[in-house]
Structure 1
Amino acid sequence: MIETLVEADGARVAEAAESLDVAPSIAYDHLQTLRSEGYVLNKGGLYYLSDQYL
């Protein structure tokens, strides 16, 4: 997931799911976990790595 966000410079749930070859619900769950820990930000439906991760 992290590599997907870095390579795409932000990604929507569907894009992350396709890149990882998983169901969108799985990608969404992973992104929400990362967001709850402060590693990912959601801006207008696009998920980006936060400064905390970098």
Structure 2
Amino acid sequence: MKTFTLLLVACLTVGCSSTPPPPPEPKGDITPVNPAKVNLADLYTQGDMQ
């Protein structure tokens, strides 16, 4: 049982101390799927509509 506990602690120590791999880099053009069309007038009048 002592050997199993030592092995478990060793695996956790090695697993937690290693750094995770870097995230994948995006390839190609990065464009928004649905670009928002915002009017400045809409921002000012949005709260006044009832």
Give the structure with higher Rg (CA).
2
Whether these two folds match at TM > 0.5 is no
Asked which structure has the greater RCO (Cα within 8 Å, sep 6+), the reply is: 1
Q: TM-score range by the shorter chain?
A: under 0.3
The alignment's TM-score, normalised by the length of structure 2, stands at 0.27
TM-score (norm 1): 0.26
